Amino acid sequence: MRSSSFASLAVPATLLLGVAAIQAPQHRLTYRVEVLRATGAGRQSLAAGEVSGSVETGLRLSLRSDSTEVEALFAVFSETDTATLTAEFFSRRRVGRSRRGLPLWEQDGYTRIVQVAWGDTARVYPLGPPRRGAQDSIWVDLTVLRRPAGGEVRPAETLSLGTGPFEVALEAVVRPRRGVVVLTLVRGGAVSAPRRYDLIPDGAAKRVQLPVPGRLPRVLDVALSRPETPRSARDRTLALEADAVCLRVAEPDSLAPTGTVCGRLNNVARRLPLSGGDTLIATFAWPGAR
């Protein structure tokens, strides 16, 4: 297994996420990650894990300690025999205290890119390459794999933590092609049976009917849209809104939406008050494999 180092080029990882999304999802992409630290006492593994999903899946990595914060978004542009791996980094380091005793932080942002063969390992220094003779250094060994898949694949994450001062987190980042919305209507003390709908973000609205026991059913037009682009450069680069959707709800034949509720595809119920005292409960989830 060959090892590559990252070079510095200004190619946004979020752009490659969009380019990869046009490819057919017949493969599962896997990022195999190990975070390592070397000190005078030897080398230790801070964390190891995997993030996988469809070919447009990205990897969000964060390292945090009392004095250092590093966040990165990795993305892969798939080719036949090789992969172009990019990373957008945001880092904060505590450099001292002010005269009033408040912590002072230094912030930085940078891009890295490397081309590797499938199965090769790239070595990334999130805090920068260590100086010659340095006794303490941290790096990430990142291997990208691609395997055939029978249909659409859901993102998955695993993480095993070792010892050390850093908190490590891995997240799969993918913009959904479809989303499942489970709707329930609450009217007074009556609750409708949950109805499940498979919707396409920015697709046509769907007319739904939610029957409430002993009451007239509520008819609504619902549609999925993508959330607004984050305002801050950090949030945009790290694609913090990638796995979120918004449900637009309107009365039939109405020109204006009744309301909108947004959330991640994480099976958490969210409430939207409607006219007449009704409450719509919406739960967003990833669709099953096809």
**Among 173, 194, 211, which residue terminates a domain?**
173
* Exposed/middle/buried for residue 246 (C-beta within 10 Å: 0-12, 13-18, 19+): middle
- Residues 185 and 123 occupy one common structural domain: no
- Residues 18 and 115 occupy one common structural domain: yes
CA 201 – CA 224 distance, rounded (Å): 5
**3-class secondary-structure state, position 102:** coil
CB atoms within 10 A of CB 146: 15
Complete DSSP assignment for 131-156:
PTT-S-EEEEEEEEEEEE-SS----E
CA 108 – CA 249 distance, rounded (Å): 41
> Which letter, b or e, does each residue of 63-72 get, where b requires 16 or more Cβ atoms within 10 Å of its Cβ?
beeeebbbbb
Residue 157 lies in a domain: yes
Residue 23 lies in a domain: yes
- Residues 16 and 61 occupy one common structural domain: yes
- Residues 94 and 195 occupy one common structural domain: no
At 118-160, the pLDDT tens digits run 999 999 888 778 788 777 888 999 999 988 876 656 788 888 8
pLDDT at residue 4, rounded to an integer: 54
- Residues 135 and 257 occupy one common structural domain: no
- Residues 161 and 186 occupy one common structural domain: no
Spans in the chain with pLDDT lower than 50: 1, 7-25, 290
pTM summary value = 0.75
- Residues 41 and 122 occupy one common structural domain: yes
- Residues 200 and 119 occupy one common structural domain: no
At 223-256, the pLDDT tens digits run 999 998 888 888 888 888 888 999 999 988 776 7
**Among 130, 153, 173, which residue terminates a domain?**
173
- Residues 202 and 186 occupy one common structural domain: yes
Range of the domain at 209: 179-285
- Residues 142 and 17 occupy one common structural domain: yes
* 18 and 44 Cβ atoms separated by less than 8 Å: no
- Residues 145 and 215 occupy one common structural domain: no
Which amino acid, one-letter code, is at 233? A
Q: Which of 193, 195, 198 has its CA nearest to residue 176?
A: 198
CA 208 – CA 183 distance, rounded (Å): 9
pLDDT at residue 276, rounded to an integer: 85
CA 269 – CA 280 distance, rounded (Å): 10
Q: Which of 245, 284, 283 has its CA nearest to residue 262?
A: 245
**Among 152, 173, 194, which residue terminates a domain?**
173
Residue 85 lies in a domain: yes
- Residues 139 and 7 occupy one common structural domain: yes
Number of domains in the chain: 2
